[in-house]
Structure 1
Amino acid sequence: MKHKLTTPAIKQIAFTADVSTATVDRVLNKRPGVRDKTRQKVEAAIEMLNEGARKTGPIDITDLRVGFVLNSTEMLNKAYQDLVPRFAARFGLKHTPKVMQFNSESVLEAASEMRDVAQGLDGIILVARTSAAMVGQINETVGAGTEVVCVTTDFPGSRRLGYVGMDQVAAGRLAARLVALRSNSADQLVALHIGRNWRCEGEREMGFRSTLRDLNFKGRIVELPTMSGRNEEAQALLNGLLKQGHHVDAVYSPSSGVVGLTNAIKDQDPENRTFIIGHELFNPLKDLLQRDLVGAQIGTNSYDVLSEGLKVIALKRAGRSVPSSVFLPAHIIMKENVSELDWY
């Protein structure tokens, strides 16, 4: 039985089979340590997901009336605000989407405006940071008759219709493989720039650490704990480590603040520059990749995220079965392929 590592996504298979992502990874890569019964559960889950995808068939999203509520970091808010009109044009949406943007701390203050935006819509695509206040607003919006699909951050305790996002554990695994491919020696120093403010950060970290263990990584990992994820803080953290005289081979940032990390290493010799791996896929990261200040970004196609979100809303409107979560494949984006891919 042939499998594709990312279709269905590792996390989707794990949810369906009720096993860990590590177990799914072992089955897909034909590694030992999995009981026959468990292996059969995983293979059955893959077959069920593939069959479900075949049965679903095409779904029309062009006639949907949708809104986008952006309640994230300044960079992510701006990126999605720029992306939505291009997305609407590319997919031929007949109704101009409503877009509402506000900062992460203003959920309660913006509640009435959110209700106004949601009126008369088939659904809302929500780009938001984790917050108890947002759970309440999701529930109110759904209670008033408008479906909510979350992207980038899930709110599993809410009444949201579904979640669409990258397979974060698989993303962390890819980062670990990049680190180990560069070198695997006892004198190798890798910095982990981690905030743990978002659910996805923890999932990426889990994939990163577990894969390094699987690969018998011999180097040392130093944590750079971030409170805010701001660029200034990230730059100060990495500068502090470098000033101690350490050569840092690579930095993996499951958090935000990648631009700040690049500011700390921009004057290094290009031939011996710290290799930075991050997840912030919107500009100015494209430029930093092309200038070799960022080694790699790991992400998924933003158009796919939005189109899958609208498909979930369309399925609900059509009275068809709706997946609770859709996990999209993680990809490595480097200087060599950034201009060819549709991430921005």
Structure 2
Amino acid sequence: MKRMMAAAAILACALTQAAAQNFPNRPVKILVGFPAGGPSDVPARLIADKLQKSLGQPVVVENKTGAAGMIALNEMLAHPRDGHTLLLCSYIDAANPLLYKKVAYKLEDLGAVSLVTKAYYAFTVPPESPASDVKSFVAHAKTKELNYGKVGSGSVTELLPKQFEKITGIKMTGVTFRGTGPALQEVVAGRIDLAVSPIALAMPMQAEKKVKILGMTSPERLAVAPDVPTLKEQGLNIDNYGWWGVCAPSGVPKPVIDTLNQHVRDAVASDDFKSVMERAGTIPTSSTPEQLAALIAETAKESGAMFKELGIEQLD
């Protein structure tokens, strides 16, 4: 019996090593749970381009939108756990199991590969809004019923406006969108009064005078936007960032994860990736699989505490 168990262990090890040596042996897919052109899609396509060149196989990006990113995540989990189907994961995936009563996955189902980027957020308003900073927005909200765009309940795009409400005493109505991009388009049109957006999306739109930025959630002003004040310097104790990474299903052989990690980290370190992301106001940041796994757990814990503080109940 012991000999059989030892032989089985040796065989399993050999198969794992063989899988890693043969990886990838077909096209690799990166799933994105949000619309094209959004804060998840942009880094995914940059990473895919780099991986295609370094891995020697086609790497395609597929947008599977809806259900706060869970459609894409669940599709990833339905594929063989061999590293050929990946997910551009984010802080949203870490928070969803705490927000929804019926979630088809557990955090343990996510296999971390590497962090890709971090981004702070901008509070945006229509170009014709009478508000130009936090103080004038609060004054405006006390004379008129305002709304804000959000990408699903419990997302940062809802949590930060709710924090804003709690600190300032104003009340707004949330309007749900399938992605940050569509919400911002409604801000541009003047039909949405406020939307929280990753800086990467908001800055180009402000440069084109399509939106105005009231402030950013960064702890200090950013070098790429020195004229835009932080929320903190305007009296709002809101300091928050989002993160994006590459995840695989749990159970992918460690040698495959290690291979992917090295290639993703090389992509993040490349000059052109850094240039594009930094110009957009994000912070290119890679990690070990262990560091990303720890960040996922930390994000889940912090999200649960924030849901409780803001009175956000679990959704069906």
Q: Scaled by the length of structure 1, what TM-score is found?
A: 0.39
Q: Scaled by the length of structure 2, what TM-score is found?
A: 0.42
